[in-house]
């Protein structure tokens, strides 16, 4: 879990009206957010009995979160540079037996149409479930990628990028192959759980007959507005997590995160590579540590994320500072020390994770941790060198376990009239 901070920008936009049953343009989910009070019912009580009373004709919207909209078409796919979303689903698919390039192209065309509509706050194009009809777009993003095995199954081996070679084995891996890799990968994120689920269900239904779900994982982050001002996220260990993330304003951001327009293969221009890791946190062991011991493992104060060498969260870490006994204030095996880009040949990646909690095991151990998602122009220069270094002596490794893994090529954004991956599948 490299120590980097997250961009917080959220795009805004407007949604088109959704079609009514008679084919006319009715209210969009976004419009309903602000007008629900005019036709809705409010729960009330009278004489000890609970009943329903008409809401005021001019209701004031409770929040603007539902109205926030990310754009589907663009230079890059959505879901990469946007801020953390409150709810997420990661799902991998395998093509069904007999499905090849033609079926994959038709599927990506369907998925792109569905994603564009849902991200605009409109219903799915086919058999919409109405799960999210009362909400706006809620910053919904849907992102698509291709796994290593996809190219062999579609006869496109010559178009497989070298950067998509399988990740090396790491000593900390305890990987479940059934929950790793996949032909196709979809990342769904939103600031409303029903909006995210609605998209997940629509994407799954679109895949019928062409691809089947290989694995699916559900995650969450803090809800927008839960803190008085924007803050770097905390993980389930209680640590501020993401302090040194690359930012779009950085001069070398695009170079580190995105494949250049002139890059190879050509269909990956303006795309990125996503490494996905399900990292279980051994919370029972972690929570037995004293506060001082936890901070020594990370190399930062738990309260505010400041380095143990002093200052605040954004203060550069003084790796040479020693205490009265001559010991480094930031321990040599502290997670934050090991993951610094300047200690890894400048290797950097954009972290955009979700926390997860999948219940309690039979022995009472929580199955919880981090759905680690990181983005980089080349995983062999981003994720791999950092993870190799962590593998050799990160103090945090005692308290985490990597249980699933995947690497996916995520092409650039679709232009108007295109679907995601069209340059690969029709090139």
SS3 state at 415:
coil
Would you state the pLDDT for residue 64? 85
Would you state the pLDDT for residue 397? 96
pLDDT tier, 7 (very low <50, low <70, confident <90, very high otherwise): very low
Mean pLDDT of the 60-85 span: 92
Q: What percentage of residues in the chain have a pLDDT greater than 90?
A: 79
Who's near 278: CB < 8 A, 6+ residues apart? 179, 217, 356, 369, 370, 371, 372, 402, 403, 404, 405
Inform me whether the pLDDT recorded for 44 exceeds 70.
no
60/339: higher pLDDT: 339
- Distance (Å, whole) CA 323 – CA 345: 28
* pTM as predicted: 0.86
Would you state the pLDDT for residue 1? 58
Which active-site residues does the annotation give? 241
266/2: higher pLDDT: 266
Would you state the pLDDT for residue 347? 84
Inform me whether the pLDDT recorded for 147 exceeds 70.
yes
Question: Do 384 and 156 contact (CB within 8 A), yes or no?
Answer: no
Would you state the pLDDT for residue 56? 52
pLDDT tier, 3 (very low <50, low <70, confident <90, very high otherwise): low
Q: What is the pLDDT of residues 291-301, one digit of tens each?
A: 999 999 999 99
Handedness of CA 394, 396, 398, 404 (dihedral sign): negative
Mean pLDDT of the 359-385 span: 97
Would you state the pLDDT for residue 15? 42
Would you state the pLDDT for residue 348? 86
Q: Does the bond joining 317 to the residue before it have cis omega, within 30 degrees of 0? A: no
> How much is the mean pLDDT over the chain?
88
- Distance (Å, whole) CA 8 – CA 139: 12
């Amino acid at each position: 879990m490299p120590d980097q901070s997250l961009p917080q920008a959220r795009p805004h936009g407007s949604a088109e009206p959704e079609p009514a049953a008679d084919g006319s343009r009715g209210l969009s989910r976004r419009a309903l957010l602000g007008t629900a009070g005019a036709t809705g019912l409010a729960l009330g009580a009278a004489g000890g009995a609970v009943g329903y009373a008409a809401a005021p004709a001019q209701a004031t919207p409770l929040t603007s979160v539902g109205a926030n909209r990310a754009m589907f078409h663009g230079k890059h796919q959505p879901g990469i540079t946007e801020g953390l979303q409150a709810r997420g689903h990661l799902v991998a698919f395998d093509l069904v037996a007999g499905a090849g390039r033609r079926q994959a192209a038709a599927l990506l065309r369907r998925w792109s149409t569905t994603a564009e509509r849902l991200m605009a706050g409109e219903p799915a194009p086919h058999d919409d479930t109405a799960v999210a009809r009362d909400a706006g777009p809620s910053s919904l993003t849907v992102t698509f990628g291709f796994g290593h095995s996809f190219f062999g199954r579609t006869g496109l081996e010559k178009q497989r990028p070298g950067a998509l070679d399988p990740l090396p084995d790491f000593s900390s891996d305890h990987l479940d192959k059934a929950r790793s890799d996949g032909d196709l990968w979809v990342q769904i994120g939103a600031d409303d759980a029903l909006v995210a689920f609605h998209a997940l269900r629509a994407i799954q239904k679109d895949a019928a007959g062409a691809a089947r779900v290989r694995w699916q994982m559900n995650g969450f982050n803090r809800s927008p507005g839960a803190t008085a001002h924007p803050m770097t996220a905390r993980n389930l260990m209680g640590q501020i997590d993401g302090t040194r993330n690359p930012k779009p304003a950085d001069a070398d951001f695009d170079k580190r995160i995105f494949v250049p327009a002139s890059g190879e293969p050509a269909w990956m221009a303006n795309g990125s590579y996503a490494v996905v890791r399900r990292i279980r946190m051994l919370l029972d062991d972690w929570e037995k540590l004293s506060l001082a011991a936890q901070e020594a493992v990370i190399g930062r104060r738990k309260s505010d994320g400041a380095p143990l060498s002093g200052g605040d969260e954004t203060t550069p870490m003084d790796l040479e500072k020693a205490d009265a006994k001559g010991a480094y204030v930031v321990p040599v095996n502290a997670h934050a020390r090991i993951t610094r880009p300047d200690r890894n040949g400048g290797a950097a990646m954009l972290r955009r994770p979700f926390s997860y909690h999948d219940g309690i095991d039979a022995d009472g151990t929580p199955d919880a941790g981090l759905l680690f998602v990181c983005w980089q122009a080349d995983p062999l220069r981003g994720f791999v060198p950092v993870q190799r270094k962590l593998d050799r002596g990160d103090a945090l490794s005692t308290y985490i376990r990597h249980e699933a893994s995947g690497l996916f090529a995520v092409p650039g954004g679709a232009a108007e009239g295109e679907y995601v991956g069209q340059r690969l599948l029709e090139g």
